Amino acid sequence: MKKLIRSFLFSILILIFALGTIASPVVFAQEGTTTPIVTLTPTPTATSTSTTVATLTPTPTMTVFGRPLVVIYAYDYGQSAVNPGSDFTLKIRLKNAGGSDVYNLIASFASSDFLPLETGAVRVVPYLDTDAATDISQPLRANATLWGLASGLVTMNVSYTDFQGTSYSEVFTLAINLTQPVYSSAATATPTSQARAQLVVGGYEVDVNPLQPGSIFNLKVLMRNLGTVEAQGVTMVLGGGVSGSDGSGTPTVGGLSGGSSDLSTFAPLGSSNLIYLDKIAAAESKSTEVQLIVNVSTIPGAYPFKISFAYTNSKGERVVDDQVITLLVYSLPRVELGFYRDPGILFAGQVSPLPIQITNLGKTTAILGNLRVSVTGGADLSENVALVGPLEQGGYFTLDAMVMPYQTGPLDILVSVSYNDDFNQPRTVEQTLSVQVEPEQIFEPMPGDGTDLPVIETQETFAEKVVRFLKGLLGLGSAKSEPALDYPMPADGGEFPQQEVPVVPIKPGGKG
C-alpha cells in the first residue's frame, strides 16, 4: 500500500514538472536568419467558354466528277472563201475539255445565210471520252442573196449529257468568209447582188465576277458592222424574240416589239429591253452598256442569252440579225469569319487562345474545306487548321487556335476557308482580324521591398499540452507538431504591417 501511494505521488511530481517545462516562448524570426522568399507568378485567368463539340458521324466517301465541256477545237470549209449560191461542206472538230465523259451529243445547225443539205442540219455523236476529239461535217448551200457581203454566220447548238444523265447545252456562232463580187469596168456593167449590212457581237463583258442569283451587273456589248453598207435605225433587243419583221428583209406592217423576249434569267433594270443605237456605218464598231439583274431563283450553270439587232437597209426594209452570248451563273457559299467571343488583349511571350468561328449565312448547305488561321509574322501558331466539311444553313464551326506573339502592337490574323465552286474550280474566302498585343508582364517578388517575411508561430494552449503529455505516456509520441506558417497579407496601401518583436532585458550577471 505504501508503495502504491509512493508511486502515485511520484507520478504527480513528474506531471507538475513536465507542465512547467513544456511551455516554451514564442519563436520569432531573428535578424540575419535566411528565410526563403516566395515568388508569386500570376496564372493566366482562363475564361470559361461553352464550346459545342460536333460529333462527326462517318459517311461514305463520294467521288466528285468534273462536268463535261464540249468546245470547238477547229473548223474548216475547204476553201478560203465561199461563193454565194454554191455548195460546200463545213467540217468541225469537237473536243471534250471537261472532267468527265460526254454522252448523247446532238449538234444542230441553224442559219438564214446557209441552207443545210442531206442531214436535216442534225449530227449525233453517241460518246466522247474525256480530252478526246471527234470530227463532224455538215453540207451547206450559201444563199445567193449573200453577194456583196464579207461573211455569213452559222449557229450550231450542241446538247449532251454526262454519265448521270445531267443535261448540258452550248451555242457556237461560226463565221464563213464569202467571195467578193468583181465588177467590170465597162459602162454597161451593173452589180449582180444587193449590198447589205451585217451586225455581229464583237465582244462583251460584265462588271461583276462572279454572277450569282440576285446580282445586279452592267453588260457591255461591242457591236460591229461586217457588211458593206450602213445600218440605219439600229435597235438592240435583249432576249431576242423580235416581232415586226419576217427575218428576210421584207417590209412588214407595225413597229418593233420585244415583248416576247426571253428574260426569265436575266432581266433589264432602269430601261426596257429595247436599246436604240441609231446608225452604224460599214466596218464601224460601237459599244453600249445596259444594267441587268440575275433572277434569284436561277440555279448555277451556263446560260445562253439572245441578243437581236433590228435595223433598216438602204431600201427601207426591216432586217433582224440574231446573236447569242453565254453568261455563267455561280452559287457561292456565303460565310462569315470572325471571333465567337472577344479574345481580349494578348501579351508578348505568352500563349493565348484565338476563338475562331465560321458561320454559314447562305440559304443552302455549304461544302467547305480546310479552315486555316495564319499570321504575317512576329508570332507562333499551333492547332490552326481544321476540316469543316458540310455546314448547314445557319450552322457554325469553331476553331480554338493557340498563338504566342513576340512583338507588341496590332497583330493581323488571316482566317481563310477553301472550297470548290459550281464549275469545280478551287476558291478561297479570306478575312483579316486584328488583335492588340501588350508588353510582357513582369511581377515583382512580394512583399516588394526585399525584406524577409516574419514567421509567426501560433501559441499552444494548455489543453494541447496535456494531450501531448498523455500521448507520450501511451507511447504515441509527444513531439510538438510543426507550426503553420501564417504570412500576413498586405494592407490596402500595399505595405505589410510591421511586427513588433518583444525585447527581454538581461540583468547584469544574471539570466533574462
Domain residue limits, the chain: 1-39+451-512, 70-180+194-329, 335-438
Predicted confidence (pLDDT) at residue 22 exceeds the cutoff of 50? no
The whole-angstrom separation of Cα 7 and Cα 317 is 150
pLDDT at residue 159, rounded to an integer = 94
On the question of a common fold for 70-180+194-329 and 335-438, the answer reads yes
Predicted confidence (pLDDT) at residue 252 exceeds the cutoff of 50? no
pLDDT at residue 318, rounded to an integer = 85
Pick the CATH number of 70-180+194-329 from 1.10.287.890, 2.60.40.10, 3.40.50.300, 3.40.50.2020: 2.60.40.10
DSSP state for residue 21 in the 8-state scheme: H
The pTM (predicted TM-score) of the whole model is 0.48
Q: Tens digit of pLDDT for each residue in 304-320?
A: 999 999 998 877 788 88
SS3 478: coil
Q: Residue type at 37?
A: I
Residue 72: left (phi > 0), alpha (psi -120 to 50), or beta?
A: beta
DSSP state for residue 257 in the 8-state scheme: B
pLDDT at residue 80, rounded to an integer = 84
pLDDT at residue 486, rounded to an integer = 52
pLDDT bucket at 215, cuts 50 / 70 / 90: very high
Q: Tens digit of pLDDT for each residue in 115-147?
A: 888 777 888 999 999 999 999 999 988 887 787
Place of cell 449525233: 124
Q: Residue type at 454?
A: P
pLDDT at residue 465, rounded to an integer = 80
Range ranked top by mean pLDDT from 40-44, 227-231, 449-453, 485-489: 227-231
The whole-angstrom separation of Cα 142 and Cα 149 is 12
> Helix 2-22 crosses helix 462-473 at what angle (to 10 degrees)?
130
The whole-angstrom separation of Cα 281 and Cα 283 is 6
The CATH number of the structural domain formed by 335-438 is 2.60.40.10
pLDDT at residue 221, rounded to an integer = 94
